[in-house]
Amino acid sequence: MMRMFFGLDLAGADKLAIDTWRNKMLPPLTQPVSTTNLHITLAFLGEVPSSHYESVFMAARQVCGQAFDLHINQTGYWSKPKVYWIGPASIPDELLDLARQLRSQLAYQGLPTDPRPYQPHISLFRKLRENPPAPLCEPDMRLSFKSFCLFESHSSSSGVNYRVLEQWPLAV
Ligand code: 2AM
Protein backbone atom coordinates (compact mmCIF):
# COMPACT_ATOMS: atom_id res chain seq x y z
CA MET A 1 0.00 0.00 0.00
CA MET A 2 1.16 3.52 -0.73
CA ARG A 3 -0.66 6.79 -0.07
CA MET A 4 -0.53 8.71 -3.33
CA PHE A 5 -1.79 11.77 -5.15
CA PHE A 6 -1.25 13.47 -8.48
CA GLY A 7 -0.14 17.04 -8.09
CA LEU A 8 1.94 19.98 -9.21
CA ASP A 9 5.34 20.36 -7.60
CA LEU A 10 6.36 23.96 -6.86
CA ALA A 11 9.81 25.33 -7.69
CA GLY A 12 12.04 25.80 -4.63
CA ALA A 13 12.01 29.60 -5.07
CA ASP A 14 8.19 29.60 -5.19
CA LYS A 15 7.98 27.50 -2.01
CA LEU A 16 10.27 29.99 -0.31
CA ALA A 17 8.23 33.00 -1.54
CA ILE A 18 5.02 31.39 -0.22
CA ASP A 19 6.66 30.62 3.10
CA THR A 20 7.85 34.25 3.38
CA TRP A 21 4.37 35.56 2.54
CA ARG A 22 2.85 33.21 5.16
CA ASN A 23 5.30 34.34 7.86
CA LYS A 24 4.94 38.03 7.16
CA MET A 25 1.24 38.42 6.31
CA LEU A 26 -0.44 36.11 8.83
CA PRO A 27 -0.11 35.70 12.58
CA PRO A 28 1.72 32.54 13.73
CA LEU A 29 -0.76 29.63 13.57
CA THR A 30 -0.53 25.98 14.48
CA GLN A 31 0.13 23.16 12.02
CA PRO A 32 1.82 25.01 9.15
CA VAL A 33 2.42 22.74 6.16
CA SER A 34 6.20 22.44 5.92
CA THR A 35 7.78 24.55 3.17
CA THR A 36 9.10 21.48 1.36
CA ASN A 37 5.60 19.95 1.28
CA LEU A 38 3.84 22.92 -0.42
CA HIS A 39 2.08 21.61 -3.54
CA ILE A 40 -1.13 21.69 -5.59
CA THR A 41 -3.18 18.49 -5.60
CA LEU A 42 -4.57 17.48 -9.01
CA ALA A 43 -6.22 14.19 -8.05
CA PHE A 44 -6.14 12.59 -4.64
CA LEU A 45 -5.79 8.79 -4.70
CA GLY A 46 -5.41 7.86 -1.01
CA GLU A 47 -4.10 4.39 -0.11
CA VAL A 48 -3.35 2.49 -3.31
CA PRO A 49 -2.69 -1.27 -3.14
CA SER A 50 0.49 -2.38 -4.96
CA SER A 51 -1.64 -4.37 -7.44
CA HIS A 52 -2.98 -1.01 -8.76
CA TYR A 53 0.33 0.87 -9.17
CA GLU A 54 0.65 -0.03 -12.85
CA SER A 55 -2.89 1.26 -13.56
CA VAL A 56 -2.04 4.57 -11.86
CA PHE A 57 1.06 5.00 -14.06
CA MET A 58 -0.90 3.91 -17.14
CA ALA A 59 -3.55 6.59 -16.43
CA ALA A 60 -0.85 9.30 -16.18
CA ARG A 61 0.82 8.21 -19.44
CA GLN A 62 -2.47 8.73 -21.33
CA VAL A 63 -2.78 12.36 -20.21
CA CYS A 64 -1.94 15.03 -22.79
CA GLY A 65 -1.68 18.32 -20.91
CA GLN A 66 -0.49 21.83 -21.77
CA ALA A 67 1.96 23.96 -19.74
CA PHE A 68 0.34 26.95 -18.02
CA ASP A 69 0.89 29.87 -15.63
CA LEU A 70 -1.10 30.30 -12.46
CA HIS A 71 -1.80 33.57 -10.65
CA ILE A 72 -2.08 32.88 -6.92
CA ASN A 73 -4.11 35.80 -5.63
CA GLN A 74 -6.70 34.67 -3.09
CA THR A 75 -6.96 32.97 0.29
CA GLY A 76 -9.55 30.56 1.59
CA TYR A 77 -10.55 28.50 4.61
CA TRP A 78 -12.39 25.17 4.57
CA SER A 79 -14.02 24.62 7.94
CA LYS A 80 -14.64 20.87 7.49
CA PRO A 81 -11.06 19.72 6.76
CA LYS A 82 -9.87 22.80 8.78
CA VAL A 83 -7.49 23.88 6.02
CA TYR A 84 -6.34 27.41 5.23
CA TRP A 85 -5.11 27.82 1.65
CA ILE A 86 -4.05 30.19 -1.09
CA GLY A 87 -5.09 29.73 -4.70
CA PRO A 88 -6.02 31.31 -8.02
CA ALA A 89 -9.15 33.49 -8.30
CA SER A 90 -9.41 32.35 -11.89
CA ILE A 91 -8.52 28.81 -12.98
CA PRO A 92 -6.74 28.45 -16.36
CA ASP A 93 -8.43 26.10 -18.83
CA GLU A 94 -5.20 24.06 -19.11
CA LEU A 95 -5.31 23.28 -15.39
CA LEU A 96 -9.00 22.34 -15.41
CA ASP A 97 -8.37 20.16 -18.44
CA LEU A 98 -5.37 18.45 -16.78
CA ALA A 99 -7.39 17.62 -13.63
CA ARG A 100 -10.34 16.46 -15.76
CA GLN A 101 -8.14 14.23 -17.96
CA LEU A 102 -6.48 12.65 -14.91
CA ARG A 103 -9.85 11.87 -13.35
CA SER A 104 -11.23 10.34 -16.53
CA GLN A 105 -8.08 8.26 -17.16
CA LEU A 106 -8.12 7.01 -13.55
CA ALA A 107 -11.79 6.07 -13.96
CA TYR A 108 -10.98 4.35 -17.27
CA GLN A 109 -8.37 2.25 -15.40
CA GLY A 110 -11.08 1.30 -12.88
CA LEU A 111 -9.56 3.37 -10.07
CA PRO A 112 -11.76 5.36 -7.67
CA THR A 113 -11.87 9.12 -8.31
CA ASP A 114 -12.59 12.11 -6.13
CA PRO A 115 -16.23 13.24 -6.61
CA ARG A 116 -15.60 16.78 -5.23
CA PRO A 117 -15.50 19.64 -7.74
CA TYR A 118 -11.86 20.42 -8.45
CA GLN A 119 -10.57 23.42 -6.50
CA PRO A 120 -6.84 24.12 -7.03
CA HIS A 121 -5.21 25.33 -3.83
CA ILE A 122 -1.98 25.31 -1.84
CA SER A 123 -2.71 24.25 1.74
CA LEU A 124 -0.76 26.44 4.18
CA PHE A 125 -2.19 25.33 7.54
CA ARG A 126 -4.05 22.21 8.61
CA LYS A 127 -6.16 21.44 11.69
CA LEU A 128 -7.00 25.12 12.05
CA ARG A 129 -10.10 25.43 14.25
CA GLU A 130 -11.22 28.76 12.81
CA ASN A 131 -10.66 31.10 9.91
CA PRO A 132 -7.64 33.25 10.78
CA PRO A 133 -7.74 37.05 10.42
CA ALA A 134 -7.39 38.40 6.87
CA PRO A 135 -3.76 38.60 5.72
CA LEU A 136 -2.07 42.02 5.72
CA CYS A 137 -1.91 41.77 1.91
CA GLU A 138 -3.48 39.24 -0.44
CA PRO A 139 -0.96 36.89 -2.10
CA ASP A 140 0.22 37.93 -5.56
CA MET A 141 2.44 35.24 -7.10
CA ARG A 142 2.78 33.91 -10.61
CA LEU A 143 3.74 30.25 -10.87
CA SER A 144 4.63 28.32 -14.04
CA PHE A 145 4.03 24.63 -14.55
CA LYS A 146 5.63 22.50 -17.25
CA SER A 147 5.04 19.07 -15.69
CA PHE A 148 2.79 17.16 -13.33
CA CYS A 149 3.82 14.56 -10.77
CA LEU A 150 2.77 11.46 -8.88
CA PHE A 151 3.59 11.92 -5.18
CA GLU A 152 3.92 9.45 -2.38
CA SER A 153 2.77 10.77 0.99
CA HIS A 154 4.81 9.10 3.71
CA SER A 155 3.98 9.47 7.41
CA SER A 156 6.53 8.83 10.13
CA SER A 157 7.09 9.94 13.72
CA SER A 158 8.79 13.08 12.38
CA GLY A 159 5.73 14.04 10.31
CA VAL A 160 4.41 13.74 6.76
CA ASN A 161 6.80 13.88 3.84
CA TYR A 162 5.93 14.02 0.13
CA ARG A 163 8.18 12.38 -2.45
CA VAL A 164 7.90 12.68 -6.23
CA LEU A 165 7.63 9.15 -7.63
CA GLU A 166 7.41 10.17 -11.30
CA GLN A 167 7.04 13.32 -13.36
CA TRP A 168 5.36 13.78 -16.79
CA PRO A 169 5.91 16.78 -19.08
CA LEU A 170 3.19 19.22 -20.17
CA ALA A 171 3.40 20.43 -23.77
CA VAL A 172 4.74 23.97 -24.22
P1 2AM B 1 -4.12 19.03 -0.05
O2 2AM B 1 -4.75 19.95 0.92
O3 2AM B 1 -2.87 18.40 0.45
O4 2AM B 1 -3.97 19.62 -1.41
C5 2AM B 1 -7.83 14.53 0.60
O6 2AM B 1 -9.04 15.07 0.98
C7 2AM B 1 -6.91 15.57 0.00
O8 2AM B 1 -7.44 16.06 -1.25
C9 2AM B 1 -6.79 16.78 0.88
O10 2AM B 1 -5.76 16.59 1.83
C11 2AM B 1 -6.46 17.87 -0.10
O12 2AM B 1 -5.08 17.82 -0.30
C13 2AM B 1 -7.12 17.43 -1.39
N14 2AM B 1 -8.39 18.13 -1.65
C15 2AM B 1 -9.42 18.31 -0.81
N16 2AM B 1 -10.45 18.95 -1.42
C17 2AM B 1 -10.05 19.18 -2.67
C18 2AM B 1 -10.65 19.82 -3.80
N19 2AM B 1 -11.88 20.34 -3.77
N20 2AM B 1 -9.94 19.88 -4.93
C21 2AM B 1 -8.69 19.37 -4.99
N22 2AM B 1 -8.08 18.76 -3.98
C23 2AM B 1 -8.74 18.66 -2.83
78 lines ligand 1 (CB under 6 A): no
**Rg value, the chain, Cα:** 16
**CATH class of residue range 2-169:** alpha beta
For residue range 115-144, list pLDDT tens digits in order.
899 999 999 999 999 999 999 999 999 999
pLDDT, position 110: 96
Say yes or no to pLDDT of 114 above 90. no
Q: Give the Å distance between the CA of 51 and the centre of ligand 1.
A: 24
Q: Give the Å distance between the CA of 40 and the centre of ligand 1.
A: 9
Res. 166 pLDDT band, cuts 50 70 90: very high
User: Which residue out of 121, 122, 124, 127 has the highest number of ligand 1 atoms within 8 Å of its CB and is therefore the one to mutate?
Assistant: 121
Range 71-105 burial, b when 16+ CB lie within 10 A, else e: ebeebeeeeeeebbbbbbeeebebbeebbebbbeb
Q: Give the Å distance between the CA of 109 and the centre of ligand 1.
A: 21
Domain boundaries of the chain, sorted by first residue = 2-169
Q: Give the Å distance between the CA of 1 and the centre of ligand 1.
A: 20
Which atom of ligand 1 is the closest one to the Cα of 39? Answer: 4
For residue range 46-64, list pLDDT tens digits in order.
999 999 999 999 999 999 9
pLDDT, position 77: 97
pLDDT, position 5: 98
